[in-house]
């Protein structure tokens, strides 16, 4: 990790190493201000070795509020919160920069009840509100707004600011021919479209004064529609490099191609390296490269290859705040890896919920582990994500923990889910948890079938039940031998061939990935759902675009608004519920992707036994992996 460990001067600021925590939304703001939660969150990453922290965006204009929990940088009342963030990060000797932004037309008036402003009245593809075209007077006011916020950041003690000119920003909309149709001196050729950015950077630099760094975040190509090309993006970097101390790169437009900004687990690590490499070749200031760096080795390689001067990794440091310290301290193998599952980071933030993490249930809840009064013997039954998380947390607190797992290996339902195409990114969740348990001294016994009698005989001080769920046969399956559960298919207990109907009642990747598995094996596959979309939750995790492409490539037929009513021989009866029309399919197999049933037999046998019993994960209620790790962590804290 020689390159990662090398300090770097960025303008007047020296970074202790090359790992950056780039700007990302957290929804931790309350009343438009940074909170203690923000401070603790950033401080944990600084304590964990990050070389530079960039805060989430702070807005320059009261008329800009695309989402509820935006930080109102324009409001003088945010100053105390800014100072808390600065002090919390500086306490670990790490520089911290605020990202300054105006979202322009990538917003709507829901929260402000005033028209959104943009270079031209072109509705954003996500927000879809027709903006008001900014006048020359608006632009002068907006530039002054950037300067005002920069001055506030300087007063708060930030080491600098980063002007957002990518992803979601008014500056990006000026730079892009798709959104800038102006005929005045802010529109037309690139030099004109960049005028607003140049004016903003000049004003911000002046407001910052000496001794503070100024960065800019620039976009790559926007993919058609007259939008920015990579060549233009590189040219823009060249135009403004002389005005800034660093350039941070990114790919994708937040309101059009968010799956490129925060790609799902099917996107290969380092996918955006060519962008930073192209920019770096054109500018003389340090360049931040980003793009799903999951391991320290991937980050080190990007630096060694000269694709960037600094590596930005958001999700890797959400999942493991100590990513950098482990990388630089010879413990790279101990990093708790980001899965790219997007369920609790972008999947929650997109729903106006506080940022969380499936792999790290304490993300956004940074607090020291409570020390128990005495060391207790804890028995965890079930080695899936809930049980392993409970064991690791309890052991980290000093308890003597044993895990009993029925299967030959730990991992539970996650290991099964990870066996499907495109879902192998889930596997590090349980692999890393098992490793964490091992380091914490947890005794893991596999192939142990727990009974109430055995648990009572072991006489632990506390029991955590994490026994998971089992398939529940849907009513429409009747006695049909054609119908199998998705788990049986993934486990290899059944190998469908021929014509397969996948019935999706969950809307998760379970149905789509088993469809891919079977189509890949040569089956003719149709996925049917009563919902309006197959795999509706894939939208939240940004898996949809890639799934749609893979489904087309594999010839998977997707049918919506149909309920399965019966399976009769090889005939499956469907009801088109909006119209009441009936249809039939003749198939060789039906794969049911339906809600499983909690396996709570041990709970029923032990809850009144007098033992301290906790129930976590799917054996409480079959839910998602993040629910399992959160339940497990809570139980590990409670015992």
Partner 1 sequence: MLFGPHETNLGRGRALSARHVAHYARRAAGGCGVVVTETASVHVSDHPYERAPLAADCGPGWADVVAACRPHGSLVLAALGHTGAQGTSAHAQTALWAPSAVPDVVTREVPVAMEQPDVDALVAGFAAGTRVAVAAGVDGVEVDAGARSLLRQFLSGLTNARADGYGADRARLLREVLAAVRGSLGPGRVLALRLSCDEEAPWAGITPALAVRHVRELAPLVDLLVVVRGSGLAPSAYRPDGHVPPGFNTDLTRSVRAAAGGTPVVLQGSVVDAAAAQRALDGGVADAVEMTRAQLADAGLVRAVRAGRPVRPCTLCNQACQVRDVRNSPVSCVADPSDEEPLPDGAGRRVTVAGGGPAGLEAARLLASAGADVRLVERAGRLGGGLHTVAALPGRARFADLAGWLAGEVARLGVRVDLGTAADGGDVVTTGARARAGVTAAAVLAGAELPPGPVLVHDPAGAPAGVGVAELLAAAGREVVLVTPDAVAGERLGGDLGPANARLARAGVRRETSSVLLSAGEGVAVLADRWTGTERSVPCAVVVDAGPPLPGDVPPGAVGAGDAVAPRTVLEAVLEGRRAARAVLARAAP
Binder of partner 1 out of 188, 524, 595, 601 (CB under 8 A): 595
CB of 33 to partner 1, least distance (A): 15
The least distance separating partner 1 from the CB of residue 410, rounded to whole angstroms, comes to 23
Q: Taking contact as CB under 8 A, which single stretch among the options 276-284, 398-406, 479-487, 541-549 is the one that binds partner 1? A: 541-549
Restricted to residues 336-365, the positions that interact with partner 1 (CB under 8 A) are 348, 351-353
Nearest-approach distance from CB 578 to partner 1, in angstroms: 4
318 counts as binding partner 1 under rule CB under 8 A: no
Comparing CB distances to partner 1, the nearer of 260 and 280 is: 260
Q: Does 608 help bind partner 1 (rule: CB under 8 A)?
A: no
Distance between first and last Cα of the chain: 39
- CA–CA separation, 414 and 426 (whole Å): 7
Q: Which of 412, 427, 322, 340 is nearest to 631 (CA)?
A: 412
CB of 113 to partner 1, least distance (A): 6
Contact 515, 489 (CB under 8 A): no
Identify which of residues 113 and 373 has a Cβ nearer to partner 1 in the complex.
113
Q: Which part of the chain contacts partner 1 (CB under 8 A), choosing from 379-387, 458-466, 499-507, 511-519?
A: 499-507
Q: Do 364 and 26 meet the contact criterion of CB atoms below 8 Å apart?
A: yes
Query: Among 7, 62, 68, 584, which residue interacts with partner 1 (rule: CB under 8 A)?
Result: 68
Coil, helix or strand at residue 172: helix
| 3-class state of residue 30 by DSSP | strand
Element (H, E) at 15: strand 13-15
Residue 128 engages partner 1 in binding (rule: CB under 8 A): yes
* Residue 150 to residue 74: CA distance in whole angstroms: 9
Tell me whether residue 125 or residue 498 sits nearer to partner 1 (CB atom).
125
Q: Judged by CB under 8 A, which of 56, 64, 124, 129 binds partner 1?
A: 129
Q: Using the rule CB under 8 A, is 552 a contact of partner 1?
A: yes
Which listed range, 171-179, 184-192, 490-498, 530-538, lies at the site for partner 1 (CB under 8 A)?
530-538
Q: Is 374 in the site for partner 1 (CB under 8 A)?
A: no
Closest contact distance (angstroms) between CB of 86 and partner 1 is 27
Strands 462-465 and 612-615, by their bridges, are parallel
Give kind and range of the element (H or E) at residue 213: strand 213-218
The 3-class secondary structure across 75-130, one letter per residue, is CHHHHHHHHHHHHHHHCCCCCEEEEEECCCCCCCCCCCCCCCEECCCCCCCCCCCC
Among 334, 454, 576, 588, binds partner 1 (CB under 8 A): 576
Q: Which is nearer to partner 1, 111 or 375 (CB)?
A: 111
| 83 or 623: CB nearest partner 1 | 623
Q: Is 622 in the site for partner 1 (CB under 8 A)?
A: yes
Task: Identify the residue among 130, 243, 369, 440 touching partner 1 (CB under 8 A).
Answer: 130
User: Does 532 interact with partner 1 (rule: CB under 8 A)?
Assistant: yes
Q: What pairs with residue 167 in β-bridges?
A: 253
Give residues 131-150 in contact with partner 1 (rule: CB under 8 A).
131-133
CB of 378 to partner 1, least distance (A): 21
Q: Count the site residues for partner 1 by CB under 8 A.
A: 49
CA distance 319 to 336: 6
Residue 121 touching partner 1 (CB under 8 A): yes
Q: List beta partners, residue 525.
A: 500
Nearer to partner 1, 12 or 545 (CB): 545
In contact, 180 and 122? CB cutoff 8 Å: no
137 versus 459: smaller Cβ distance to partner 1? 137
Contact letters (x/-) for partner 1, 452-491, by CB under 8 A? ----------------------------------------
In the DSSP assignment, the letter for residue 264 is -
- Which range binds partner 1 by CB under 8 A, 202-210, 229-237, 458-466, 592-600? 592-600
Told to check if 548 binds partner 1 by CB under 8 A, we report yes
497 binds partner 1 (CB under 8 A): no
| CA-closest candidate to residue 500, choices 593, 591, 592 | 591
For position 113 contacting partner 1 by CB under 8 A, the verdict is: yes
- Exactly one of 91, 110, 155, 494 binds partner 1 (CB under 8 A); that residue is 110
What values do phi and psi take at 527, rounded to 5? -105, 130
Binding-site member from 395, 630, 632, 636 for partner 1 (CB under 8 A):
630
Beta strands in 415-523 (DSSP E): 443-446, 462-465, 469-470, 483-485, 499-504
568 binds partner 1 (CB under 8 A): no
78-111 burial, b at 16+ Cβ within 10 Å, e below that, comes to bbebbbbbbebbbebebbbbbbbbbbbbbbbbee
Does 620 bind partner 1 (CB under 8 A)? Our answer is: yes
Report the residue from 506, 517, 542, 564 that binds partner 1 according to the rule CB under 8 A: 506
Under rule CB under 8 A, residue 102 binds partner 1: no
- 40: nearest Cα among 92, 77, 95, 98: 92
469 closest CA partner among 387, 356, 590:
387
Q: Kind and range of the H or E element at 20?
A: strand 19-21
Number of H helices and E strands in the chain, helices first, is 23, 27
Q: What does the angle CA 558 – CA 560 – CA 562 come to, to the nearest 5 degrees?
A: 120
- Supply the DSSP string of 390-402, one letter for each residue: HHHHHHHTT-EEE
Q: Is 21 in the site for partner 1 (CB under 8 A)?
A: no
Q: Contact, 405 vs 390, CB < 8 A?
A: no
> Which part of the chain contacts partner 1 (CB under 8 A), choosing from 14-22, 111-119, 194-202, 246-254?
111-119
Residues that bind partner 1 (CB under 8 A): 67-68, 109-111, 113, 115-116, 121, 123, 125, 128-133, 348, 351-353, 505-507, 532-533, 536, 539, 544-545, 548-549, 552, 561, 576-579, 595-598, 607, 620-623, 627, 630
């Amino acid at each position: 990790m020689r390159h990662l460990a090398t300090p770097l001067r960025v303008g007047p600021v020296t970074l202790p190493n090359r790992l950056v925590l780039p700007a990302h939304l957290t929804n931790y703001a309350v009343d438009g201000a940074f909170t203690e939660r923000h401070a603790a969150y950033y401080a944990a990453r600084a304590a964990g070795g990050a070389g530079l922290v960039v805060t989430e965006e702070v807005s320059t204009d009261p008329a800009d509020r695309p989402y509820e929990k935006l930080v109102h940088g324009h409001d003088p009342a945010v100053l105390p919160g800014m100072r808390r963030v600065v002090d919390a990060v500086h306490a670990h000797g790490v520089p911290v920069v605020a990202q300054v932004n105006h979202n322009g037309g990538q917003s709507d008036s829901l929260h402000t009840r005033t028209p959104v402003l943009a270079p031209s009245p072109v509705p954003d593809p996500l927000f879809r509100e027709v903006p008001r075209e900014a006048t020359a007077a608006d632009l002068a006011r907006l530039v002054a707004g950037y300067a005002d916020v920069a001055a506030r950041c300087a007063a708060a003690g930030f080491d600098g600011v980063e002007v957002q000119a990518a992803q979601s920003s008014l500056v990006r909309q000026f730079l892009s021919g798709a959104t800038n149709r102006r005929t005045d001196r802010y529109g037309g050729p690139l030099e004109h479209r960049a005028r607003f950015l140049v004016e903003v950077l000049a004003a911000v630099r002046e407001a910052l004064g000496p001794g503070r760094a100024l960065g800019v975040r620039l976009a790559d190509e926007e993919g058609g529609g007259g939008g920015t090309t990579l060549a233009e993006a590189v040219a823009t970097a060249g135009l403004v490099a002389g005005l800034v101390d660093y350039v941070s790169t990114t790919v994708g437009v937040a309101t059009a191609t968010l799956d490129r900004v925060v790609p799902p687990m099917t996107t290969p690590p380092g996918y955006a390296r060519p962008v930073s490499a192209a920019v770096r070749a054109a500018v003389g200031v340090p360049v931040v490269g980003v793009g799903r760096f999951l391991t320290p080795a991937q980050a080190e390689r990007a630096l060694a290859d000269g694709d960037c001067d600094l590596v930005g990794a958001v999700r890797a440091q959400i999942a493991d705040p100590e990513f950098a310290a482990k990388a630089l301290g010879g413990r790279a193998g101990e990093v708790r890896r980001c899965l790219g599952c997007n369920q609790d980071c972008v999947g929650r933030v997109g729903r106006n919920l506080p940022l969380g993490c499936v792999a790290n249930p304490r993300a956004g809840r940074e607090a020291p582990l409570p020390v128990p009064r005495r060391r207790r013997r804890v028995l965890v039954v079930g080695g899936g994500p809930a049980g392993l998380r409970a064991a690791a947390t309890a052991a980290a607190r000093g308890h003597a923990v044993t895990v009993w797992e029925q299967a030959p290996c730990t991992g539970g339902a996650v290991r099964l889910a990870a066996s499907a195409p495109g879902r192998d990114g889930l596997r590090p969740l349980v692999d890393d948890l098992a490793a964490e348990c091992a380091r914490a001294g947890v005794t893991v016994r596999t192939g142990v079938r727990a009974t109430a009698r055995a648990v009572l005989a072991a006489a632990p001080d506390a029991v955590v039940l994490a026994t998971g769920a089992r398939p529940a046969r849907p009513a429409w399956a009747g006695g049909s031998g054609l119908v199998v559960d998705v788990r049986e298919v993934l486990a290899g207990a059944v190998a469908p061939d021929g014509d397969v109907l996948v019935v999706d009642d969950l809307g998760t990747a379970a149905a789509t990935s088993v469809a891919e598995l079977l189509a890949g094996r040569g089956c003719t596959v149709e996925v049917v759902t009563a919902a309006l979309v197959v795999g509706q939750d894939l939208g939240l995790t940004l898996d949809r675009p890639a799934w749609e492409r893979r489904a087309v490539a594999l010839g998977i037929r997707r049918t919506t608004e149909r309920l399965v009513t019966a399976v009769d021989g090889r005939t499956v009866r469907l009801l088109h519920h909006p119209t009441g029309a009936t249809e039939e399919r003749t198939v060789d197999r039906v794969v049911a992707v339906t809600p499983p049933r909690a396996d709570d037999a041990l709970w029923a046998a032990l809850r009144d036994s007098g033992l301290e019993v906790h129930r976590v994960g799917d054996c409480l209620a079959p839910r998602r992996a993040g629910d399992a790790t959160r339940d497990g962590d809570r139980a590990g804290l409670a015992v």
